[in-house]
Amino acid sequence: MKNHHLFIMLLILLLFAAGITGLYRGKEAAKQTETVAPPPTEQTQSVPESAQQELPPPPPVEQTQPVPPPAPAPPAVRPHSPEHATALRVTQALELPAPQRATVLNELVQQGVISQETANRLNDWRSKKGDVPLQVQEVGNVLDEQARTKETRYRISTTGDGGEHIVLSISAPTEGKASAVQQAKEVPADKTHVTSESDSLSVAEGFVEALKRGDMETARRLTAGGDVTDATLAGLCMVFEEGDFVLRNRLPLRNMFSNGANAGFLVYLSPRNGSEKSRNVGIEMTHDAQRGWVIKAVALDDMLNRYEESAQAEGGVYFPIVKNPQGGDSVVLYFAFDDATLSPRSLKQLKIVANLLASREGNINISGHTDDVGSSSYNQDLSERRAAAVRDALVAQGVAPERITTRGLGKRQPLRSYRTGDSRQTISTIRGENRRAEVYLDF
């Protein structure tokens, strides 16, 4: 009996010990779980609602502007001739920083592209200009018929540069010889600054530049007179002033013949809109013992044909120079049907004439004309009003009225006459050319 009670008590003690052991192991497991788990973050910590309201708002996130992609590099200029390629190589060398520039120029010397003297001159010129970008412009070519050589000239300058430019004369490649710089010369930025020592191409370039500016005095100074009338010069200034044509980039002045006494050039003009082919104006030059190269004659046939074609296609586009019955040329201004009001184009053209008259002595004659529509008496009155409109515009621009003579010729002196069977468009174009006033510069 005692043994039975002893057994029961022993069993109870064992169960109690097992419970104590299980409880202890459970607490140890809980401790390990707390150790392994990551500590709570600021976002996971429990914050009382009142404390949340007192917290300051988070700082705003700074918005970064998207970085635009880099601008594409400008397309490289592709040379169109060996001479052009040489000009580009020299220009690219001059655009390098000073240490690299000297190295590349020396390489060009070693390759026979330039002489050492030319390299030194180019380096000195570039050093005076700083690191501003350069631009290269093709001027034209010049022939030497005796030596049977041809050189193309390029002008290197900086944008808006008022100092000295560099002009390169580059030979054409011949058998066994590559294209090379024959001469590098510093010249004034003003292309019209030519002297009696200037060659024919320089004078031709200066003459065209004066026409582009509307600088009648300089253009006249570079002519020999005679066949190059003031009306011709005024008309050429008007062609450039209207802005339809500009000098083309490639070989704008082409030398057709050249010797010690005479030279001829074609001046190539390209349309701004690119819709037409290039046109040309011919220049004939002669060498004067005292004055050097001067302009002897100007041929406008190609430009006259262009304006006639445009008039037929568009209506109302006419060339500003006509042959005067008294000889020479007249500046001509056109009017709308049954109208004596000057157009904005005509007023701009008259400004060129007024500038010319300011530096000239002598009188001018203005004649008014009409088409063949209407009675003779009505057209006579209309032609007189057209001549008077031109006179009044010139007087308003400073021309003395006593220098001006006007007359109306009605429909008696048409520039062109149509024939039976001509189309309505052709008749309309011819009538448009006859509705005009002519300014004859008699000096």
Residue 438's pLDDT is 93
Is there a single domain that holds both residue 209 and residue 101?
A: no
Let me know if residue 108 belongs to a domain: yes
Is there a single domain that holds both residue 209 and residue 267?
A: yes
Let me know if residue 358 belongs to a domain: yes
Is there a single domain that holds both residue 333 and residue 289?
A: no
The better pLDDT of the pair 22, 274 is held by 274
Q: Which of 271, 299, 327 is the last residue of a domain?
A: 299
**Averaged over 290-310, what is the pLDDT?**
82
Residue 399's pLDDT is 92
Low-confidence winner among 38-47, 162-171, 330-339 (lowest mean pLDDT): 38-47
Contact (Cβ atoms closer than 8 angstroms) between residue 113 and residue 181: yes
Residue in 129, 154, 157, 159 with CA at minimum distance from that of residue 142: 154
Report whether pLDDT(436) > 90: yes
**Averaged over 270-276, what is the pLDDT?**
72
Residue in 73, 72, 112 with CA at minimum distance from that of residue 89: 112
**Averaged over 356-378, what is the pLDDT?**
90
Let me know if residue 356 belongs to a domain: yes
Contact (Cβ atoms closer than 8 angstroms) between residue 388 and residue 396: no
Radius of gyration of the chain (CA): 43
Residue 118's pLDDT is 96
**At 243, phi and psi to the nearest 5?**
80, 5
**Averaged over 347-371, what is the pLDDT?**
87
Given pLDDT bands bounded at 50, 70 and 90, which one contains residue 271? confident
- Spatial separation of the C-alpha atoms in residues 346 and 393, rounded to whole Å: 10
- By residue range, what is the domain housing residue 409? 318-441
Report whether pLDDT(69) > 60: no
Residue 443's pLDDT is 58
Residue 37's pLDDT is 43
Let me know if residue 126 belongs to a domain: yes
- Side chain identity, residue 215: D
pLDDT single digits (tens) 378-433: 999 999 999 999 999 999 999 999 999 999 999 999 988 998 888 988 898 889 98
- Spatial separation of the C-alpha atoms in residues 321 and 388, rounded to whole Å: 20
Beta-carbon contacts of residue 72 (< 8 Å; ≥ 6 apart): none
Query: Token pair of 27, please?
Result: 């607490």
The better pLDDT of the pair 260, 80 is held by 80
Mean pLDDT of the chain: 81
**At 244, phi and psi to the nearest 5?**
-70, -35
Show the 3-state SS of 295-328. Answer: EEEEECHHHHHHHHHHHHHHCCCCCCEEECCCCC
Q: Exposure of 318 by Cβ count < 10 A (0-12 exposed, 13-18 middle, 19+ buried)?
A: buried
Residue 2's pLDDT is 46
Let me know if residue 21 belongs to a domain: no
Given pLDDT bands bounded at 50, 70 and 90, which one contains residue 73? very low
Residue 42's pLDDT is 39
The domain tally of the chain equals 3
The better pLDDT of the pair 344, 241 is held by 344
Is there a single domain that holds both residue 218 and residue 256?
A: yes
Let me know if residue 17 belongs to a domain: no
- Spatial separation of the C-alpha atoms in residues 211 and 235, rounded to whole Å: 9
Let me know if residue 28 belongs to a domain: no
Residue 76's pLDDT is 63
DSSP character for 81? S
Given pLDDT bands bounded at 50, 70 and 90, which one contains residue 262? very high
Kindly state the percentage of the chain with pLDDT values over 70: 76
Low-confidence winner among 237-241, 281-285, 374-378 (lowest mean pLDDT): 237-241
Interior CA angle at 276 toward 273 and 277, to 5°? 125
Let me know if residue 20 belongs to a domain: no
Q: Which of 188, 208, 227 is the last residue of a domain?
A: 188
Report whether pLDDT(315) > 70: no
Alpha-helix runs per DSSP H in 130-227: 200-213, 216-221
Is there a single domain that holds both residue 406 and residue 418?
A: yes
- Taking the model in full, what pTM does it have? 0.72
Residue 20's pLDDT is 45
pLDDT single digits (tens) 112-149: 999 999 999 999 999 988 878 899 999 999 987 666 77
CA distances from 367 to 99, 316, 412, 440 (A): 68, 20, 11, 8
pLDDT single digits (tens) 5-63: 555 555 455 544 555 444 444 444 444 444 444 444 334 344 344 434 444 555 554 45
Low-confidence winner among 77-81, 191-195, 218-222, 368-372 (lowest mean pLDDT): 77-81
